[in-house]
Amino acid sequence: MPRHLVVLMLLAFPLFAQAAQAQAALIPQPSRIEAGHGSFVLDRNVRIDAPAGRRAQEIAAFLRDRIREDSGIALRIGAATRQPRIQLRIDPSVQGEEAYRLTVTPQRVVIAAADDRGLFWGVQTLWQLLPPGHHATTLAIPAVHIDDAPRYAWRGVMLDAARHFIPVALVKQQIDLLSRYKLNVLHWHLTDDQGWRIEIRKYPKLTSVGAWRTEADGSRSGGFYTQQDIRDVVEYARQRNVMVVPEIEMPGHASAAVVAYPSLSCPKQPIVVPATWGVFTDIYCAGDEATFAFLHDVLDEVAALFPAPYIHIGGDEVPKQQWTQSTSSQQRMHDEHLADVEALQSWFVQRIQRDLEARGKTLVGWDEILEGGADRNAVVEMWRGDAEAAKALANGNRLIVAGPFYLDTPIEELTTQDIYRINPFASPAFAGHQDQVLGAEAPLWSEYVTPRNLEAMLYPRVLALAERLWNPDVHDYADFQRRLRAQYPWLDAQHIAYGPEDRDLVDYKLDYNPVQHRWRLRAARGFDDIALHYTTDGSEPNAQSPTFGDVLDRYTAATLKVTPYRHGVPYLTSRMFPMVDNKALGKPVTYLTAPDAHYAGTATQLVDGVIGSSDDYNDGLWVGWRGSDLAATIDLLPATPFHSIQVRFLQQSGSWALLPRLVTFAVSDDGKSWRTLQSTPIDVQPMDLRVMVRTVRFDAATPVTARYLRVTAQNYGLLPVGHEGAGKPAFLFTDEILVQ
């Protein structure tokens, strides 16, 4: 090879390496990218040249501010002739919705787009191309040419602020991140059973009453957004190319509204805002005109606050028992010639749809709005699978895909790589209907998500979603992972509390060793630099509390509370582990019928002194039987005097878990002849969808002495007619047998 060519290659290599490095850092990956030669030097002499229109000037100011925040370099906005410049240009030759062209040469940077949306995305790409340079005087941007456009128009994330309120500042921070990675829809779930989060001035009790609930520990929680908060967030999102779509749930998930105004339900009885999760029977009464007057007024104020052309009405998980029992709703069915309550729901949805269309708004609903028949002009959000998608597409509806991307799914079950590899649009259900597919979004339901773990549940998985929806033809996960990890230093600098790519931040396992009389808490940490701060009296840990790494041993009972910290910031809601010393602790247990294999726990699970959580049968501490009775015999080894027995049972009817019908305590000296101490019948309400824990207790006036103790709990049996699981066997869950 001639010597001069070798020299030229050696000189060019760093420039190509810089361009390759810049390309590796871009998420989502552009449709087409070519490395150039040299680099553009960014310093305070560079001008940003933008069209005179208001939006173009906003975009120029956005770029100026981001450069100043990241590097300290202060650019000016204005036309430049001789000075180096970043030029923003409207160019009709750039083809495609939201498309842009970005060209970086040593002389200048040009971002061209057919409209303002594409112009803004070009600016976001340029921002990602900037090398790190805090307090730098110059930055070198590698020469590159990019032609880019998204595949799907609807690229979104849903935030559920109803179950756990999300402060305005945190909502804005998520908008910043969605925008940086070219996601353009924030679906804001604002009302549900557990809270009403948006101020409606005509109905002040919606927020003064419906926005607050009493938790199991007696504390009050809640919050709401004022109308000024809403305007502020919507405007903040507009400036960043993000459309905010509100969701006002109806006709189900309406408990918070019914608490505020009981007349909205068919029974018209006072209820309380639920502090547990599930599907609740309190829904809007379809037979009463007052219901629609209320919803019309609410939508008046909502439509005025959100300029987006869409309003989401939910429409999912609607238990219709109250309509079945309501005279007015039955009369409505008669008057409208409706065959059943599913048709009544369809009538309800289509009436609301007409109300929205009169305001120039398009109705969006979860795929249950198809039940009973849906108007083809509604947009269907699919969460229950391809069969529902096929129904919507065959009906002519436009579609948003959500089901494969539920971010409340534990990270180890839906990893970043899983989301990257999902391609729901390849399903045969979509064949011939691609023009009806608006796009997709990832919902983050917040039953178990609070402001502390929200970002760990979102990121980095949302970045994989952004890549998949912008450029779905790319399938190189190793390359994506390299680009993803190049984002972490920037995310760290922004104090984003992102989580691991493929496992939970912390997985806890607490067990008891009866030989050593020791509780051991093991913690598998998703990041090595997570510090686990803890207390032993149930108080809230802080940054000054003691820490442990992977294992913490306790030889005396305590109420252990643990909070993970990373970079000095608490990452998750504290986890409590109550450990109770008692006379059955670690004793041998035998079952007449083995527990369900999914909920069997360890051999001594019911006598390990560890109390389960009050609302999660999947926490590893509850033992469950499906369709069969609990019959547990404890050998107290030797005969032991005691005063009381306590057993806790969980009801979560929406998950088919019911309280037992009868609980019996018996004792024996030889394990053959038994003496009943107490039989307690329980009035089980299978249609009560609230999550609850019932403690059954026996107390003796004088000590009872026995070697063997048997606890029997009669399973409810088959779920009754009217229950969504009618005819299926109920589960029975218990977490601990305490003998004291």
Residues recognised as catalytic: 192, 253, 317
Match 């039940």 to its residue by tokens. Answer: 371
**655 with 622: CB under 8 angstroms?**
no
Conformational region of residue 372, where left means phi above 0, alpha means psi within -120 to 50, and beta covers everything else: left
Cα–Cα distances (Å) from 406 to 184, 618, 657, 677, in that order, read 18, 18, 23, 48
* Alpha carbons 206 and 259: distance in angstroms, whole number: 8
Render 653-712 in DSSP notation, one character per residue. GGGTB---SEEEEEEESSSSS-EEEEEEE----TT--S-EEEEEEEEEEEEEEEEEEEEE
Residue 315, CB-side half-sphere exposure with 13 Å CA sphere: 32
* Alpha carbons 458 and 636: distance in angstroms, whole number: 48
* Alpha carbons 429 and 513: distance in angstroms, whole number: 53
Report helix, strand or coil for 413: coil
Pairing of strands 547-548, 506-513: unpaired
Report helix, strand or coil for 507: strand
Cα angle: 699, vertex 700, 701; to 5 degrees: 125
Helix-strand-coil split of the chain, %, nearest 5: 30, 30, 40
**138 with 74: CB under 8 angstroms?**
no
**19 with 35: CB under 8 angstroms?**
yes
Report helix, strand or coil for 595: coil
